[in-house]
Amino acid sequence: MNRYLPVLVLVTVMLFALPGRAETKKYCKICKNTGKAPCKIHAEHPDTALCSFRLEFPCGCLGLGWKPCEKGRDIHPEATAAAEKEFEAERAKLEAWLQGRRQMYDLLIFGKDWKKEHCQHFETKHFRLVFTLPGEKIFKIKVSPHQRLHLYALRCEETFSMFAKLMDIPESYLPTTYGKWQVLLWGKVDQELKASHKMVGNTQYPLATGNARLLTICPFSTLDGNPVQENDDWLHHHVVHNIVHLFFEEWGGWVEGCFPMWFYEGTAHWVEYYLFNRVLAHCTDEAGELIGARTDKWERLVYKMIKNGRDTPLPELTFVKMQDLDFRMRLKGWSLVDWMYRVKGPDKIREFVKVLKKSKNEAKAWRDVFGIRIDEVDELWREWALERFSPRNLRKLEKENEERAMKFVEHQKELVRSLPR
Ligand SMILES: [Zn+2]
Ligand SMILES: [Zn+2]
Ligand SMILES: [Zn+2]
Ligand SMILES: [Zn+2]
């Protein structure tokens, strides 16, 4: 027996050393030897945004769509080690970013109890978002808090694109004076109140904007804490309207009192109306009631206002303060911006803003940029508006607007469906 033993050992060794067998053992089915084991939830749709939810994903993949392959470590030790290094670097990056955000917002607003508020954070090219909103049904699609945060990040960026279009500035523009624009979306009334107080210095409810840089908002009723009507639509409108204010304030640097109020409101109404084909947001309660009560489209109302000689002459309108800006003045402001944009071009709006910021003198801005006196504007605008909004053109125009608004809703639905899980 003993003399056959070496042979037996040799045969056994040879059997295991056969090339085919060895190769099957070296192949890891989980990760295909990449060292990265795919995540069932995120492999197809990874989440690589600067998004704090990623650190809490139950799958533990940080949204990358893979985790270091532990089970195949013996087969591909180097690949697993490399994947681990990459994974940990990503986690470290996210954690360092989040720590900075927590100090800037959570701690500053809520003090030592900040952890109880469970703030989530997000960062895009132009925005920083802070978020405690619950999930919501949007276009009948169930949207989780995480998805809703992504949705608002996308919506903010798209509103910036509209601003770039209205001003004819490149989308590569970055808000350099004060850093990125900040949008704080709160799920509780008291969070909004604390944030307004700490970040803006006043507790105007249910939203507050801080000069040129920050919007804090909460879509819940001040009386009972219940969601406002048309919760997500309301929020979307108000975010759009108010960040347009922030864009105009920031661009070219913050200059206190540089804008006539008709222009300041008119531009925000213009973007809101262009996207939604209706206006929900307003910056005074008096105007708000009127806006809410009117179902007529703004084109129709402008036409009627001019026909009846009820628009405030521009040389007067220019001095009207925010709290005195009534519904008709807002209508006129919106239509003047529309006229500037469509007839004179967005580059003229940009130049108008430039001169206003330099001189705080509207008459000078009209003269320098448009080559007309401020008391000549009304006649030119009225003539154009009466033609454009004439009963003959109105139906066609309204149809165009409706179609654009429908496309916008379709686009919003697509956004909602494309959100990462
Ligand atoms: Zn995310
Ligand atoms: Zn995952
Ligand atoms: Zn593997
Ligand atoms: Zn406003």
270: Cβ–Cβ under 8 A, 6 or more apart, which residues?
166, 334, 337, 338, 341
Which ligand is the nearest neighbour of the Cα of 131?
A: 1
Which ligand is the nearest neighbour of the Cα of 268?
A: 4
Q: State residue 6's pLDDT score.
A: 59
Which ligand is the nearest neighbour of the Cα of 74?
A: 3
Q: What is the mean pLDDT of the chain?
A: 92
Per-residue model confidence as pLDDT tens digits over 25-63: 689 999 999 999 999 999 999 999 999 999 999 999 999
How many Å lie between the centroid of ligand 2 and the Cα of residue 99?
22
CA dist., res. 237 & res. 315, Å (int): 30
Distances (CA, A) of 388 to 191, 370, 383, 392, 403: 46, 20, 9, 9, 18
Kindly give the pairing relationship between strand 50-51 and strand 127-131.
unpaired
How many Å lie between the centroid of ligand 1 and the Cα of residue 47?
6
Which ligand is the nearest neighbour of the Cα of 28?
A: 3
How many Å lie between the centroid of ligand 3 and the Cα of residue 200?
51
How many Å lie between the centroid of ligand 1 and the Cα of residue 400?
36
Domain ranges of the chain: 29-112, 124-254, 277-400
pLDDT cut 70: percent of the chain above it: 91
How many Å lie between the centroid of ligand 4 and the Cα of residue 374?
23
In three-state secondary structure terms, 130 is strand
Q: State residue 280's pLDDT score.
A: 85
How many Å lie between the centroid of ligand 4 and the Cα of residue 383?
27
Assign 292 a pLDDT band (cuts: 50, 70, 90). low
- Output the 3-class SS for 341-355: HHHHCHHHHHHHHHH
Per-residue model confidence as pLDDT tens digits over 351-377: 999 999 999 999 999 999 999 999 999
